Structure 1
């Protein structure tokens, strides 16, 4: 069905989630991960900015990869209450779009305060945990759960749900 799928990020926590699910959904597909702009701040604040970043990444990825049938954008943000939020957008070459949300959990108050002031969450979590490049592996969720649930794990649920209308287009037609 979809032979080439573009992912608007080279972050392995994001691209591995898309790869794992799309290879199961569309055996033999090719996944192309590339950096594209989100069009929003480095640390998106609020659901609207987070969703916009995901949509922008999905559209840019689809446009950038010749022959891509699907484009994915994955964007993590912090809501106004200091919770981590994450959004997945997927767009198809024929113009269909879907958006889904993942987990929402409270960040430690000092971390949330820094993110809400504009600091990117990944480096803040690195500093408070003594790690480096955690956003490419454990992420905040992995650090705060002691590895029980990693950033790649966190992305798999919303990526799978974003695929629903593409796996069952007959059920998602407008009435």
Structure 2
């Protein structure tokens, strides 16, 4: 079975591979530079889900892919402040999409203000943490949980949720 991954981000690729390898090591994987077709910084749950869905659907354009997976990070405004949200979509060829979300946390006010002014979380986090490539490593969640939860672990959790639903509904 060939799994299409709608990203070239190594954190997302590794999360997808690890989740599927936990149940079967014979899966084949193909990573695609899949467009999200949403804002660079999705600003709602709906927009973030749409981005993940677009990435998953793009993978199925390759006729050899049996499953398309899209993972997307975004933010959503709440009455308590700006919250990071992450969503995943798994689409088995010819079936309905499966959708799952991940852990959430609130951003410090100074970061939230920069995002509201139009900046993207990845570069803002590089600046804030004084590191390069936070998004392809620990992610904002890794910075703000002192490494207790990484971006890969969060996406792995989403993948386990998606795969569990896939096994329930389609196997």
Q: Which residue of 1 aligns with 2:87?
A: 87
Which of 70, 73, 79 is the equivalent residue of 1:73? 70
- The 5 A counterparts of 1:92-103 are 92-103=92-103
**Number of paired residues?**
168
How many angstroms apart in 2 are the aligned matches of 1:99 and 1:154? 15
- Taking structure 1 as the reference length, the TM-score comes to 0.91
Shift of 1:92: 1.0
Q: Which residue of 1 aligns with 2:104?
A: 104
How many angstroms apart in 2 are the aligned matches of 1:116 and 1:30? 40
Which of 38, 46, 50 is the equivalent residue of 1:48? 46
Where 1:25 maps in the other structure, the secondary structure is coil
Structure 1 runs (4+) deviating above 6 angstroms are none
Where 1:91 maps in the other structure, the secondary structure is strand
Superimposed CA distance per residue, residues 66-111 of structure 1 (whole angstroms, 9 cap, x where no aligned partner): 3111100001001013100000001011222100000011011111
Q: Which residue of 2 aligns with 1:142?
A: 142
**Paired residues of 1:50 and 1:76 also in contact (CA < 8 A):** yes
- Taking structure 2 as the reference length, the TM-score comes to 0.93
**Paired residues of 1:21 and 1:160 also in contact (CA < 8 A):** yes
Q: Which residue of 2 aligns with 1:20?
A: 18
In structure 1, the gaps of 5 or more residues are none
Alignment pair present for 1:124 and 2:124: yes
In structure 2, the gaps of 5 or more residues are none
Superimposed CA distance per residue, residues 1-42 of structure 1 (whole angstroms, 9 cap, x where no aligned partner): xx1000100111111100001112232001111111101000
How many angstroms apart in 2 are the aligned matches of 1:170 and 1:14? 23
